[in-house]
Amino acid sequence: MTKKLLFVLSKGLEKSGGATRALQFAGIAAESGNEVEVFLIDDAIHWAQIGMADGIYAPTGEKMKDFLDKLIQHKAPIYVCKACADKRLIGPDDIIEGAEIAGAPVLVAKMADPDYKVITF
């Protein structure tokens, strides 16, 4: 049975291992046929910046970029918090293909939708 899973990440550079693991789980969920969406908030928005995931590895050696690429391959939407991006002067031209900037109402609507299971990291 397909589930709608929303992964909300707030972990940035200081917790890159946890952020990498969250994206790994999201990728596995997408590969398993679930409808996966990722919403990056706070410092996690940096993972959608072009080049920021390059060279970031999980403690077990997997590359964060590979997990992001897997999500994009499975057409999993990756949302970047608009207020968080604005604060950091990050615009649409600064983020990876497959990611889009979205406001808090988008996140809240998904969190309130009973069809979604929300997973936070």
79-91 residue pLDDT tens? 999 999 999 999 9
Three-state DSSP class for residue 10: coil
User: What rounded mean pLDDT belongs to the chain?
Assistant: 96
Q: Convert the pLDDT of each residue in 37-87 to its tens digit.
A: 999 999 999 999 999 999 999 888 999 999 999 999 999 999 999 999 999
DSSP conformational letter for 57: B
What distance lies between CA 83 and its chain's CA centroid? 16
CATH top-level class of 4-120 = alpha beta
Q: What is the mean pLDDT of residues 82-110?
A: 98
**pLDDT recorded at residue 60:** 87
82: nearest Cα among 48, 120, 111: 48
Read off the pTM. Answer: 0.94
